[in-house]
Structure 1
């Protein structure tokens, strides 16, 4: 699962939830609230678009009206449905940045075989007690739960503001992160990847900044969580940020030795080794030229954000 620290948003949501609790809404009654699964509706333009664009060609079902206690897999969080006017623009962006590049590089058979069969769209993030937020979950290769939909606006939306691009970029990172999990759950990456820096992995990754993690040879702090997350964080950030963005990260590593004994040369060597393993994994296991995929994904990201 994907977690990000967003303090200002966290404080805002805490205030909102505190005010909601005063209304005395019983969680047991939530399933009867319109939009949370207690209502029924006649399929409309959104449902027709999903059927024609995702379900018929790729066998991907999308649920945007749901019952938190049955579908959201997170009854410890208070979640809200997505704004319906966001559904088609966001799914169009997902198709452009994730589906189309993979099909162009690997073909429809690859995508149909490995794509998750269910997409759940949730309006809010799920906030953790430690200040982190959950933006996505991949469940057994069949379902992706995509959170924080109401925070995302694409360039084609009437109320789009370039300042909001952080959230849509985080969604792109989340999609590629979760799909990376699906791929390695189907065929595990080489043991060599796990051997690169096992002593530096830590479940206390929230104690580190992304800059500190980079100086130890991790592309983000969350990549320090375990080898699986290290692997897919590399994939998602290399794809979404592109080759130039990855090279800029490498160049930004400061001189010196970290608190955990990593030199700049060692950090760069670890990141280059991870890059090489991922490129070979994509080629040997999936027949995909990673750098061509990277170019396609980055071009789509730029078209959606800038």
Structure 2
């Protein structure tokens, strides 16, 4: 299996918002032993003629219910058996595939950084305090995908909502794995002069975030969440919408209300900061991995559009 990794748990939590938290543990991550291949799902996941995630990346997929994957204070529903293979196809088609088809070296990038385990759970994870986990990653060792019993390939919101769609979740978490291993671009953390820490959730709107140079309120927590949110949005949000919301300068001269003019100008200044960050991230991926994230995005968006239109992932 992959190298032993210390637990650094990054959790996406929804309490009318999305949150990642990082906790350190002195214990070492030890993947569970490989399952007995007895079910058609397991044949697909582990012995699929060299095509499975296990055969290609040594990634074990856990879909049978195991109480150890949630805390005693949490509740969740197992994934329905019929959704296991479609979920794995989705992971391949819209997570791995856009990277591996982007350059002749991208396969090595995936082999190095793809998590050792994927855990599939049918519902969100509900905490006793009323919060809800949308999905989470554990130090690059395990990524847990949630709400899979609502799988709907023709529901773009379920797939690509930047505030909790399954693609937004996996690409956000995969970006954490990248920076845990390679850091973030030099200078990225100084482009914005203000991060809000835990105050990010105190009524911070998307416009507030944009004015600070972030694409989402949660990105104002720190430079690492900022990095992951920018990459996730860049890949999952369609290009025209991303550029209109976060890059393109609005013509403030058409406005007459003084407050609206100030707001417009502040948003434009924030968009300039976001553009600097996007440029740094694109350069970072090209220089470190020979990966063009614009190509990754274009491939993902084309595949996403096709999937929503047809409901079918090509073989």
Deviation at 1:81, TM superposition (A): 0.9
1:257 and 1:218, CA in 2 relative to 1: closer, same or farther beyond 3 A? Answer: farther
Unaligned stretches of 5+ in structure 2?
Answer: 1-10, 18-34, 253-259, 310-315
Deviation at 1:41, TM superposition (A): 8.0
- Please give the per-residue CA displacement for 1:136-159, whole angstroms capped at 9, x wherever unaligned: 21211111111221233223xxxx
Counterpart in the other structure of 1:289: 292
1:280 and 1:131, CA in 2 relative to 1: closer, same or farther beyond 3 A? Answer: farther
Q: Is the 8 A contact 1:215 1:262 kept in 2?
A: no
Aligned partner of 1:88 among 85, 91, 95: 85
Counterpart in the other structure of 2:151: 152
Report the Cα distance in structure 1 between the residues aligned to 2:81 and 2:16, rounded to whole angstroms.
24
Equivalent pairs, count: 263
1:270 and 1:137, CA in 2 relative to 1: closer, same or farther beyond 3 A? Answer: same
Counterpart in the other structure of 1:62: 61
Deviation at 1:194, TM superposition (A): 1.0
1:84 and 1:223, CA in 2 relative to 1: closer, same or farther beyond 3 A? Answer: same
Q: Is the 8 A contact 1:282 1:289 kept in 2?
A: yes
1:75 and 1:285, CA in 2 relative to 1: closer, same or farther beyond 3 A? Answer: farther
Deviation at 1:216, TM superposition (A): 3.1
Deviation at 1:214, TM superposition (A): 2.6
What is the aligned-residue RMSD (CA, Å)? 2.7
Counterpart in the other structure of 1:3: 13
Residue 227 (structure 1) aligned with residue 226 (structure 2) = no
Counterpart in the other structure of 2:69: 71
Q: Is the 8 A contact 1:120 1:145 kept in 2?
A: yes
Aligned partner of 1:303 among 297, 303, 306: 306
Deviation at 1:5, TM superposition (A): 4.9
Query: TM-score if structure 2 supplies the norm length?
Result: 0.75
Q: Is the 8 A contact 2:195 2:223 kept in 1?
A: no
Please state which structure has a larger fraction of its residues in strand.
Answer: 2
Residue 168 (structure 1) aligned with residue 166 (structure 2) = no
Query: TM-score if structure 1 supplies the norm length?
Result: 0.77
Please state which structure has a larger fraction of its residues in helix.
Answer: 1
Q: Is the 8 A contact 1:122 1:148 kept in 2?
A: yes
State how 1:185-204 maps to structure 2 within 5 Å: 185-204=180-199
Q: Is the 8 A contact 2:137 2:143 kept in 1?
A: yes
1:180 and 1:150, CA in 2 relative to 1: closer, same or farther beyond 3 A? Answer: same
1:112 and 1:97, CA in 2 relative to 1: closer, same or farther beyond 3 A? Answer: same
Report the Cα distance in structure 1 between the residues aligned to 2:130 and 2:193, rounded to whole angstroms.
26
Deviation at 1:59, TM superposition (A): 1.3
Q: Is the 8 A contact 1:135 1:147 kept in 2?
A: yes
Q: Secondary structure at the match of 1:296?
A: helix
Counterpart in the other structure of 1:107: 106
- Please give the per-residue CA displacement for 1:55-76, whole angstroms capped at 9, x wherever unaligned: 11221110011322x223x433
Report the Cα distance in structure 2 between the residues aligned to 1:173 and 1:59, rounded to whole angstroms.
24
Counterpart in the other structure of 2:214: 218
- Please give the per-residue CA displacement for 1:164-208, whole angstroms capped at 9, x wherever unaligned: x32222100111001101111110012411112242333132322
Deviation at 1:42, TM superposition (A): 6.3
Deviation at 1:267, TM superposition (A): 0.6
Unaligned stretches of 5+ in structure 1?
Answer: 8-39, 156-161
Counterpart in the other structure of 2:118: 119
Deviation at 1:256, TM superposition (A): 4.3
Report the Cα distance in structure 1 between the residues aligned to 2:132 and 2:286, rounded to whole angstroms.
33
